[in-house]
Structure 1
Amino acid sequence: MSVASETPAVYPRTEATTPTRLRDRMRYDADTVHAILDEAFLAHVSFTADGVPHVLPLAFGRDGSRVYVHVSSGSHLATAVRHAGDDGLPVAFAVTHADGLVLSRSAFHHSMNFRCVIAHGPLRRVTDPDELAHGWSVLLEHLVPGRSTDARPPNRKEAAQTGLFALDLDRVAAKVRDHGLAAEEDGDLELPYWAGVIPLRTVAGPAQPDTGVGPVPDYLARWAAERA
């Protein structure tokens, strides 16, 4: 099984992870990067295939300094990874949390509180049987801790239909905006327009059991209660 590189306390700054403006919003410490990833359910992976840009929303899971995604084996992404060979396919990987709407007195100064992580690197297909089993477990555990032992693993047909892919977090950084209004013009302060922040958050609703299943398992009930 391929072993993920040792997770650093702080990810190195690279050309790909250093913006041209608002650098004070950047975070390179692993704790912040990992927390943002671990709270997210959906990633967007962008890549170029045959000269055409693509972006896909994908479920993912993190294991140390590596993320796993899965996608149809016949997709543009899977095909591009195969054509890329052993070096892997260059991709950009992103997750974003919208934490609040920042409403200014002026249209220009409206903003949003957010936390995001963007990573760049080669995406490779996982072929080692041990890493395949581990990666699928990582994906399920990312969705709901405890889920990997409460679901049937993929069979051979399903594994052929859906590929598992890995990206090592070598060129990665977080960007965070977490404050209120910061750029009101002096001349706008007396205008009769409401201004402030509207917080946003993702919550879990009540479980909706399929027909024929028993009570909601304890691990799932606890997880949903924590996010209600």
Structure 2
Amino acid sequence: DELRDVLKRAGGVTNYAYVPGAVFTRIELKEQQEKRLQEMQRRLAEDIAKAQLVEKDASRRSGDIGKAQELLTQLQQTPALGRLVVDLRKVLAEDPDYSIPLQNGDALTIPSRKNSVTIIGEVQLPISQVFEPKLDYTDYIERSGGTTDKADEDRIYIIKANGGVQLPDSGHWFASNDAQMEPGDTVVVPLDADKLDQLVLWRDLSQIFYQIALGAAAVGSL
């Protein structure tokens, strides 16, 4: 069976469903994700240990090492979800070029409509805000007090409600019209990894952590 077939048998979605925020999970992906998380935990622990050994100015770098240790704790406490990014709108529209064959253990969760945008990372006040169509990602950042002095403003990205990641282009908006802010999206302002010296894994690890944690939160809030 394909996902569209199962949805048909279920009678489709209700008027209260927020289709862009659908969460599709797969056991096979969860197992892969668990292994990836374990490897990242190991590598980050090694990086922290190396940084502590070579750091001469402990007072100057203790905050950076503390941030990495905090991330390591978060990674250890974050369960793998096994989320597969799907465009449920294409499935419902029966797009012939968009097919999702099902496997045993697959699960689809469709939340009710969201009316918020979340800002996390290196901003003064990480918080969820009411979605407003006229605002872009920079407006939401400003409403969170702006970025901190350790923010990597060149690598800001958006985690869409369906779990996909999209990057702002060189202009004020995104590279494509369908990449504008929508309810349920999350603006991520990453830490500038170049300022962490020995802890070069931070950027990649934090991006993956945010995606996993947000996916788990999406399921847990239903």
TM-score range, shorter chain: under 0.3
Larger radius of gyration: 1
TM-score by length of 1: 0.24
TM-score by length of 2: 0.24
